[in-house]
């Protein structure tokens, strides 16, 4: 089982979601199932079927979050100091096609989903940035063609 890198903020996001699922949504779905059972024949009970399906989704997400948290390798971004881009770095890049500057923090997959200013270390851009330094030019393969970026700045905060 591989580790699951995440920032401290990312870990807190997952813990908050897990807590919500266990304490609120799991209890709500138990109540919905109980109410649907009272409606009669379970074979033709759409409310019961929908509640059971929702329960399955909730339990699957709980297991997923518990697994990720058990494998978590929390990176304290404030303790990092490197000339190279690593997980947790905030980088400013210049998109040569669009001629704009972009700033992203490289984080774990779940954290990147919640914030457009964050990218996953597993994304094509994230993978291309890891190990690079300020001044480096990178090329990212994309379906619409190669995307070229220049690393302008790097910090850890």
DSSP symbol at 34: H
Topology of domain 80-155, CATH: Chitinase A; domain 3 (3.10.50)
Which ranges in the chain are annotated with CATH 1.10.287.180? 4-75
Nearest to 92 by CA among 152, 157, 18, 24: 152
CATH class as words, domain 4-75? mainly alpha
Mean pLDDT to the nearest integer, 111-130:
93
Q: Edge-to-edge strands of the sheet including 118-120?
A: 118-120, 100-107, 90-95, 147-155, 137-140
Whole-model pTM: value is 0.81
Mean pLDDT to the nearest integer, 47-72:
94
Which ranges in the chain are annotated with CATH 3.10.50.30? 80-155
Element (H, E) at 55: helix 46-70
* Lowest-confidence pick of 7-11, 42-46, 48-52, 101-105: 42-46
Question: Which residues does 52 contact at the CB level (< 8 Å), separation at least 6?
Answer: 33
Question: Which residues does 11 contact at the CB level (< 8 Å), separation at least 6?
Answer: 69, 72, 74
């Amino acid at each position: 089982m591989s580790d699951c890198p995440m920032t401290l903020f990312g870990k807190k996001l997952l813990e908050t979601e897990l807590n919500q699922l266990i304490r609120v949504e799991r209890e709500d779905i138990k109540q919905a199932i109980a109410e649907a059972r009272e409606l009669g024949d379970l074979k033709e009970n759409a409310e019961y079927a929908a509640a059971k399906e929702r329960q399955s989704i909730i339990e699957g997400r709980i297991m997923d979050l518990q697994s990720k948290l058990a494998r978590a390798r929390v990176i304290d971004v404030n303790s990092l100091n490197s000339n190279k881009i690593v997980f947790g770095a905030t980088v400013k890049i210049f998109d040569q096609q669009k001629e704009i500057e972009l700033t992203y923090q490289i984080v774990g997959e779940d954290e990147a989903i919640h914030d457009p200013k964050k990218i996953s270390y597993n994304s094509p851009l994230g993978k291309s940035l890891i190990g690079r330094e300020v001044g480096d030019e990178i090329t990212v393969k994309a379906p619409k063609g190669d995307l070229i970026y220049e690393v302008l700045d790097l910090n850890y905060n």
